Every structure is written in C-alpha cells, then in structure tokens.
C-alpha cells in the first residue's frame, strides 16, 4: 500500500522548472532517504507532500488524498503527515512541554492529562526528560531539534518528513539528533522520508535511497545497491565527493 505517490508531477517557480516529471511511490512503513547536490529539488519535493508547495501538473496522492484536488482538506493531510524543518520553528514564549502539547490540544482536542502524559513520554524518548520546563532559548540547537521531533511525533502521524534536520547544527550536536531519527526509522508503523547529507545515517536506516539532480529523480534503489554500485554517472560523482570529503 502506497502512503505517498507522485504521478508525472511538475513544479515551477515562475520560469524555473523545479520538479520534472516526478514518478515515485513510498510504501507504508518505509524509510526513504533523498540525497543529491544543493538545488536538486529535494526540499521542494518533500515540501509538496504536506502542501507547503503546490504542484502545477500531475497527481500527488498522500494517504489516499489527491493534493491537486481543490476539494482536498489540507488540514486532514497535515494531521497525518508531520514535518521537521532545518530550523526548529519552536514557540519561543512557550516551554518545551507546552510546545509539544500545543498541536494535539488545538487540532486533535486530546484530553489534557493524556496530552501531558504523551508529551512527557516523548521528551524522555528524545533524551530531554529533564527539559520540560525550559524555554527554547535555554536549549542548544540539537536539543531544540529533538523537541521539534517530539512535537511532530505528538500528533501520532502516519508519515514523518525531515527536511535536512541536521544541516543547521554544530557537528557535535548532530549525533544526538540522528540517534533519535534512527529510533523513529525502526518504527515500522510510520513512513519516514528524510532529506539529508548524512551518508552514514542513510546507509544505516534507509530501505531505499533516491538520488536527485536538476529537479529529476536520477536513481531510486535499495540502499546497499545504491552505495555499492550506483548506476548513474551523476550519482557516482556525487558519492565519490561526499564519501571522500
């Protein structure tokens, strides 16, 4: 069963052709990593999946809903599709715990005691059980990103999208965030799509690797096959640069 399906999708910014004839299926529970050079369309692709970027042509199905259909309620999509951004987008005037509890309270109308219990469990899961009363300004970048991940998980999404979640972090912060993401990827009930430059992470957790360049999917393969012997010259060149960097 496909959780996400692109059929001949095209995306433009004015005259710039950002996504070119994208055909892609991602199954329920699959962990897929998107890699490629900067400007290849990875972040654009991932942002179309929860409607942050509209597509101009083709069909994009998410959890059975057609995003190109004007009648599709985007709020229903976003209930089931979480997103973790490069920058954390936490509410600076709310504590860590309040940041995690906010969306389930407003969107799901979750019982307050239950909401708090889940939020505390998630803080523990991301290694921040003692930070529930802290404001974002009292946290490091890596801690903020782990709170942002917990906040997404609080909605119990069917799919979780990560848009370069470690690229704004200091190197020593990256490991803790990747560790949390690895645990999430092991959860077979959730579909995970990750845009990242962390090749070690991709090798360890991805079921599939998709390589993009110039707005196109040039290669889509099982992880071991991709890292073992990429077929496309652009993918070979990219891998030799990042792995020998």
Nearest to 194 by CA among 41, 35, 21: 35
Query: What confidence tier does 207 reach under pLDDT thresholds 50, 70, 90?
Result: very high
- For the cut 80, the answer to whether the pLDDT of residue 30 exceeds it is yes
- In this prediction, residue 245 carries a pLDDT of 55
Q: Which residues contact 8 (CB under 8 A, 6 or more apart)?
A: 21, 22, 23, 57, 58, 59
As beta bridge partners, residue 82 has: 160
Domain residues of the chain, as ranges? 2-243
Q: Is the pLDDT of residue 66 over 70?
A: yes
For 228-244, how does the pLDDT look when each residue is reduced to its tens digit (9 = 90+)? Answer: 999 999 999 999 888 76
Lowest mean pLDDT among 161-170, 181-190, 194-203: 181-190
Choose among 195, 193, 171: nearest CA to 184: 193
Segment 82-94 mean pLDDT: 92
Q: Which of 41, 44, 42, 64 is nearest to 54 (CA)?
A: 44
The alpha carbons of the chain give a radius of gyration, in whole angstroms, of 18
Contacts of 123 (CB under 8 A, 6+ apart): 96, 97, 100, 129, 131, 132, 147, 150
Strand-pair partners of 24: 6
Q: Above 90 in pLDDT, residue 225?
A: yes
Tokens representing 152?
A: 């997404």
The confidence score (pLDDT) of residue 69 equals: 83
What's the rounded Cα separation, in Å, for the pair 173 and 180?
Answer: 12
The fraction of the chain above a pLDDT of 90, given in percent, is: 78
**What integer pLDDT is reported at residue 140 of this predicted model?**
94
Alpha-carbon distances, residue 20 vs 113, 116, 117, 210 (angstroms): 47, 44, 44, 15
* Domain 2-243, CATH: 3.40.50.300
Average pLDDT, the chain: 92
Whole-angstrom Cα distance, residue 185 to residue 141?
22
What local confidence, expressed as pLDDT, does residue 73 receive?
A: 86
Predicted model pTM: 0.93
Per-residue pLDDT at 173 exceeds 80 = yes
Is residue 167 scored above 90 in pLDDT?
no
């Amino acid at each position: 069963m496909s959780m996400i399906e692109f059929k001949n999708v095209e995306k433009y910014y004015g005259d710039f052709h950002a996504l070119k004839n994208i055909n892609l299926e991602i199954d329920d529970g699959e962990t897929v990593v998107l890699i490629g050079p900067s400007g290849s369309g990875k972040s654009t692709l991932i942002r179309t999946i929860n409607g942050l970027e509209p597509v101009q042509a083709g069909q994009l199905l998410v959890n059975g809903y057609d995003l190109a259909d004007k009648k599709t309620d985007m709020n229903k999509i976003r209930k089931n599709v979480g997103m973790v951004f490069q920058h954390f987008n936490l509410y600076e005037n709310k504590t860590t715990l309040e940041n995690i509890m906010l969306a389930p309270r407003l969107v799901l109308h979750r019982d307050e005691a239950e909401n708090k219990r889940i939020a505390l469990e998630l803080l523990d899961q991301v290694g921040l059980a003692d930070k529930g009363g802290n404001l974002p300004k009292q946290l490091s970048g890596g801690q903020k990103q782990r709170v942002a991940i917990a906040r997404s998980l609080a909605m119990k999404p069917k799919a979780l999208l990560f848009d370069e979640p470690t690229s704004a972090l200091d190197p020593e912060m990256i490991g803790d965030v990747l560790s949390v993401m690895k645990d999430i990827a092991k959860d077979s009930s959730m579909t995970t799509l990750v845009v990242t430059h962390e090749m070690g992470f991709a090798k360890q957790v991805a079921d599939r690797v998709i390589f993009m360049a110039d707005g196109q999917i040039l290669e889509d393969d099982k992880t071991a096959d991709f890292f073992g012997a990429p077929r496309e010259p652009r993918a070979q060149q990219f891998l030799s640069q990042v792995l020998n960097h």
